[in-house]
Each structure stands twice: as structure tokens, then as C-alpha cells.
């Protein structure tokens, strides 16, 4: 009997992944990982007075334990706190300092779930490792999940093909509604549990209140990029991303305001009026930190620039330094620091990180 170690998060998806594998006749064991601990991070920062107990991970662990007891499978537990801090959280902070918009979940998959976790599962004698991701694997190639609304290949775009060997995604062919029904059938505590959203180490807490413990923020001017008129005061450039309108409700403007640029040296947030303002649009971007799931290097394919983004037809120019220039039509609020993920049909080819955004071949004003 083949042994599968399932990453148990304390949520419904990993719970049902374990059910499906057990029904298929595997020897199933669970492994719960803890990636964040506020008291240890306080020690690292040399500030024992910080008070930001983030994700209710003990509650998640207790739910994972109840599920495993119900399914009569063992549950192991491992801490990856230091690994997460070094490979994910410091990257997150560094990107914010540069004025960019990072996606730490992508690097959590690359360095924690499909690296550190994988090695620990192998120590436990795993023939396979499984997670509750919505994705499919066929002949080592990464494919979109059946449930396109839950598909998570975007977040797996930095995972190397070698890391996906002996990986199982039991939910790849399931709709989310059926996942919950199966959890209800087994009377699991996670059956009606709300899906986790946002960044794990922030959890349900206010992003601004959390972040000020790690990065000092400085208020500055909000300036209309078209008129050079000073409109108000921002609370810190790190709290805004290109295309954002929340937090920019300023009286006296006829149309909604959107963030369109940051001057890091002068600490200015530039905004423009209107959903279709030309300052929100670009025609190409430079992409680095590339990871490919396979041998194909297309010159034409589809791309996503955000998780909930639609597919954009793109053409790719391969640069001598190994980066790509990705060309598209009227890309809105495409943002440095975010992932650009490539697709051919149902295949996720891989992706990289957006370094620079351009319009008609010229670098845009997004980061000055």
C-alpha cells in the first residue's frame, strides 16, 4: 500500500483531499505545518512588546486533529517558522520597501509547501505528498482545475517541475460545492468552515496595523498626476497598489480616484481620475525570476497578471539577459511585484515576477 502524506491545514479542502485518498486505498497520514509565531518573531525583532498574534493556527491545528481522528489517520506537526521568515516574509517586506506589490503565497508554495514540507514528508516515508490545491497534474505537466473559479495554478507558477514529482492534487477534478458536500457526509468539523482569505501571517487583522510593526510608514502628499494638484495626504506608500481606489475617497473630485504611481524619494502618491484613465493602462512589461513547467517557450500564449484576472493574449520577446518582455493590448493596473503567469489552453506553463511596466516601449511612472 502506497503511503501519502497530506498537508492538513485545518480547512475543508485538505480534509476532503484526505478523504478521497483514503477512499482510493492509500495509507494516509496528515502533516500540519506552522509557519508563523508572533513571540519568536518578536525575539527576532528585539521587541517583546509587539502584540500581533496572527492566524489562529492553534484553532486550525485543533480542527485538523479532529478531522484526522474522525478519519482514523495519524497527524504529525512541524514548525517552519524560521524557513518562512527567511524565504517568504523578508521577501514580502523587501518588496514593499521598493514600492512593489508582492504575492507571498506564491513563494510560500515554492519554498515551504513544496520544499521544506516535501522533505519532512519524505522523512516520514511518503511515497506521495498531497495538498488541497485546486489544480491537476498530467504526465508531470500542471493543468488548471475543473473548478475554474477555484483554480490555484496561478499560485503554483513558481513551483519547479521537479518539485511536482510524486505530488497528488485530489481536488483537481472536483467542484467546490461537492467538496463541502463530501465533508458534510463525513460530518467533519471543517465542512462549513469559512475559507481562509488574504495573507496567512496577517489573517483577519488590519493590514496597516500589522505592517507598522515591521516597516515605518510616513505620510505624504497625494497628487493628481495630470494636473499636479495636491489633493490630500496618504498614510504611507506601502499601503497602496497600482489601480487601487480604496482609501482614496477624496471630496471635490468628479470621478473616482485611482493610484497610478509612487515617487519613493519624494514620498508622493500619484492618482488619476476615472476608471478608464489612460494612466492606468500599459502595453508591455518586463518579467524576471522565471520558472517553467516544461520545455515549451512560446512566443504567443495567454497570461494572467493577477489571480482573479482574465486571460490576456500576449506575445513574448526573449531578452539576452534571460528576462522577458511581455506585450499585450490595454493592460489595466499591471503592477510591479505581482506574478505574470503563462497558459496554453489548460496548461500552466509557469511564470515570473513583473519588474517593470511599459507603454509604447517606455518605462511607466508606476515607480519613480
| H/E run at residue 70 | helix 57-71
On whether the CB atoms of residues 133 and 169 are closer than 8 A, the answer is yes
DSSP-derived 3-state class of residue 320: coil
Pick from 158, 157, 159, 108: nearest CA to 348: 157
Which residues does the annotation mark as catalytic?
108, 200
Q: Which are the contacts of 48, defined by CB distance < 8 A and separation ≥ 6?
A: 42
Pick from 286, 275, 247: nearest CA to 333: 275
339 phi, psi to nearest 5 deg: -90, 140
Pick from 314, 284, 290: nearest CA to 300: 314
Rounded Cα distance between 209 and 207, Å, is: 6
Question: What is the CB neighbour count within 10 angstroms for residue 70?
Answer: 16
Beta-bridged to residue 273, according to DSSP, are 257
On whether the CB atoms of residues 31 and 6 are closer than 8 A, the answer is yes
On whether the CB atoms of residues 106 and 339 are closer than 8 A, the answer is yes
Look at the block and give the residue holding cell 486533529: 65
Does the CA dihedral 80-3-181-348 come out positive or negative?
Answer: positive
Rounded Cα distance between 210 and 208, Å, is: 5
| H/E run at residue 23 | helix 12-23
- Here the cell at position 74 is 495519524
N-term to C-term CA, the chain: 58
Amino acid at each position: 500500500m502506497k503511503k501519502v502524506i497530506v498537508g492538513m491545514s485545518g480547512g475543508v479542502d485538505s480534509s476532503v483531499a484526505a478523504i478521497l485518498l483514503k477512499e482510493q486505498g492509500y495509507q494516509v497520514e496528515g502533516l500540519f505545518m506552522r509557519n508563523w509565531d508572533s513571540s519568536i518573531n518578536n525575539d527576532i525583532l528585539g521587541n517583546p512588546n509587539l502584540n500581533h498574534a496572527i492566524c489562529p493556527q492553534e484553532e486550525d491545528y485543533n480542527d485538523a486533529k479532529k478531522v484526522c481522528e474522525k478519519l482514523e489517520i495519524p497527524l504529525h506537526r512541524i514548525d517552519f517558522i524560521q524557513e518562512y521568515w527567511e524565504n517568504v516574509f523578508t521577501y514580502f517586506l523587501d518588496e514593499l520597501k521598493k514600492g512593489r506589490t508582492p504575492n507571498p503565497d506564491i513563494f510560500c508554495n515554492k519554498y515551504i509547501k513544496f520544499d521544506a514540507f516535501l522533505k519532512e514528508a519524505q522523512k516520514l516515508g511518503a511515497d506521495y505528498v498531497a495538498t488541497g490545491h485546486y489544480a491537476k497534474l498530467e504526465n508531470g505537466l500542471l493543468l488548471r482545475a475543473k473548478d475554474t473559479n477555484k483554480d490555484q495554478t496561478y499560485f503554483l507558477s513558481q513551483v519547479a517541475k521537479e518539485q511536482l514529482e510524486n505530488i497528488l492534487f485530489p481536488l483537481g477534478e472536483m467542484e467546490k460545492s461537492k467538496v463541502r458536500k463530501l465533508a458534510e457526509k463525513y460530518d467533519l468539523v471543517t465542512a462549513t468552515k469559512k475559507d481562509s482569505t488574504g495573507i496567512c501571517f496577517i489573517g483577519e487583522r488590519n493590514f496597516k496595523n500589522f505592517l507598522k510593526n515591521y516597516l515605518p510608514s510616513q505620510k505624504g502628499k497625494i497628487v493628481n498626476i495630470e494636473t499636479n494638484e495636491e489633493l490630500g495626504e496618504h498614510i504611507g506608500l506601502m499601503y497602496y497598489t497600482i489601480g487601487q481606489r480604496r482609501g482614496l475617497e477624496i471630496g471635490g473630485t468628479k470621478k473616482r480616484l485611482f493610484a497610478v504611481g509612487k515617487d519613493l524619494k519624494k514620498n508622493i502618491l500619484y492618482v488619476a481620475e476615472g476608471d478608464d484613465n489612460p494612466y492606468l493602462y500599459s502595453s508591455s512589461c518586463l518579467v524576471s525570476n522565471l520558472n517553467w513547467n516544461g520545455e515549451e517557450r512560446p512566443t504567443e500564449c495567454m497570461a494572467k497578471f493577477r489571480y482573479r484576472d482574465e486571460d490576456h493574449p500576449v506575445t513574448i520577446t526573449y531578452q539576452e539577459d534571460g528576462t522577458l518582455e511581455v506585450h499585450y493590448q490595454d493592460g489595466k493596473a499591471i503592477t510591479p511585484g505581482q506574478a505574470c503567469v503563462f497558459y496554453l489552453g489548460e496548461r500552466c506553463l509557469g511564470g515570473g515576477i513583473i519588474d517593470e511596466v511599459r507603454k509604447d516601449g517606455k518605462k511607466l511612472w508606476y515607480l519613480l
